[in-house]
Copies of this chain bind each other. A is one copy, B any other.
Amino acid sequence: MTLKVYLSGEIHTDWRERIIAGAEGLDVSFDSPVTDHEASDDCGVAILGAEDDKYWHDHKGAMVNAIRTRKGLEEADVVVVRFGEKYRQWNAAFDAGYAAALGKSLIILQRPEHDHALKEVDAAALAMAREPEQVVDILRYVLTGKLPA
């Protein structure tokens, strides 16, 4: 069994690196959105031409990013969505809803203070974790049946 895992959400801490490093040796492949914040914001106009209106500037970029995001979500077996401390993170919740509608196995990675606000998202998930290492433990268990010592 090989698991394809999509790592969605917060891009300002090292949670993706910790999961990828922790999963070394397991039969897992990872995808994620472009995590370079500036490139992600400007990709639309940088490639397809400038816009006077900030709304369309953002729109063109969000549509180009959607090519990668949709592909990543649609091909994943497991979608991990991380909610962090900063920003509104509506794109993270959007990805979670998108993944849920596609029937993906959803793991939410979040802080206790967000439990109430995320209750609908958690209700669609198969696991709610606090730390990236718990996601690694889940992947290891799912693939090998081994629990953490």
Contact = CB atoms under 8 A, between A and B. Distances in A.
A119 B58 contact: yes
Given A1-B31, A46-B147, A47-B137, A97 B103 contact: no
A99 B71 CA distance: 15
A3 to B, nearest CB: 7
Please tell me how many copies of the chain the complex holds: 8
Interface in A61-118: 61-72, 77-78, 83, 87-103, 105, 114-118
Given A43-B141, A54-B115, A121 B67 contact: no
Interface of A: 1, 3, 31, 34-36, 39-40, 42-44, 46-49, 51-56, 58-72, 77-78, 83, 87-103, 105, 114-124, 126-130, 134, 137-138, 141-143, 145-148
